[in-house]
Amino acid sequence: MAKIVTFGELMLRLQPYNYERFVQCDHVEFTFGGGEANVAVSLANYGMDVAFVTKLPAHAIGQAAVNSLRRYGVDTSKIVRGGERVGIYFNEKGASQRGSVCIYDRAHSAIQTAAPSDFDWDKIFEGAEWFHFTGITPALGPNLVEMCIEACKAAKARGIKISCDLNYRGKLWTRAEANKAMTELAQYIDVCISNEEDAKDVFGIEAENTDIYGGSLNHEGYKSVAKQLADKFGFEKVAITLRESHSAFDNGWSAMLYNVETDEYCFSKKYNLHIIDRVGGGDSFGGGLIYSLLSGKSTQEAVEFAVAASALKHSIEGDYNMVTVAEVEKLAGGDGSGRIQR
């Protein structure tokens, strides 16, 4: 079984019940999540050997965060304990034409104040075959950029495949800062995951004749984006998720996977989603893609599995995608009826 390592911040998620706004709620739901942790949970649910690496305080909230991963079988033995606080994000779920709102309270979190010396990457990567991180982690500060570079160098020295979801977050850094850091990190990345906006925000590469808000996507434009990314940085594969936003509830969801070696541009089927919770949708795609590539699926099979996994995540509350391989393969195979299983 392949061993996978993911690295990033695990956060406390506080969310008003149902679809209340922040200004009207008087109690909130308490869960955990974070880009790379969400990917780790997906992979653990698929039966993969996956470890999540971060730094969390030794107090009870830090332990609750660790426990949220343990319950799904994620290896937490590489998590460093220390620091003063767990980062928080407040999530207000959108409805109809009102979009969701995310407010961060993550300054001075344990991982943001961590030092490169906290992580022994040679030891962390023992026996590993795959390393995954996102653009959110280096956005936390120059020390995290350094840590991501050190991790990538150590992974490359061991012949470990590296995947990265660009995940641009404008609330964490500027486009110029993202471009500088991600350009340096891109030289180590084998599999790049992006969406219709990230490639433009981070690298200035965009699809022509596309209106994501009006629900119009141009397949040829995305093929061009994927090829430009691969040509510029030497990626082996480029995945682009394609979201057509009709409202906060209703989205079209599909993806494309470009395999440089075979020169294949494979587009998945499109799912018309009625969304329960979209947070972690991209991460569930990443987890599905990593599983597919490690399992030897073809380019078309890999993108179909990843999109189906993500489509199911949009029906599940919380950050984590709690589905099995069998459930994903059933949907990818064409059974999207939602009929009761007896």
Active site residues: 283
Query: Which parts of 75-162 fold into alpha helices (H)?
Result: 121-124, 142-157
- Between CA 102 and CA 320 the distance in angstroms is 17
Q: Computed over its alpha carbons, how large is the radius of gyration of the chain?
A: 19
Q: Please give the structure tokens belonging to residue 58.
A: 């030794």
- Between CA 287 and CA 295 the distance in angstroms is 12
Q: Judge contact between 131 and 7, C-beta under 8 A.
A: yes
State the virtual CA torsion across 90, 87, 291, 274 in degrees, nearest 10: 0
Strands lying side by side in the sheet with 88-92: 28-33, 11-16, 88-92, 101-105
Q: Please give the structure tokens belonging to residue 243.
A: 């979201």
- Between CA 70 and CA 41 the distance in angstroms is 9
Cα separations in angstroms, 291 against 143, 287, 298:
30, 6, 12
- Between CA 214 and CA 72 the distance in angstroms is 38
- Between CA 283 and CA 298 the distance in angstroms is 21
- Between CA 172 and CA 62 the distance in angstroms is 22
- Between CA 331 and CA 342 the distance in angstroms is 17
- Between CA 198 and CA 182 the distance in angstroms is 11
Q: Judge contact between 86 and 39, C-beta under 8 A.
A: no
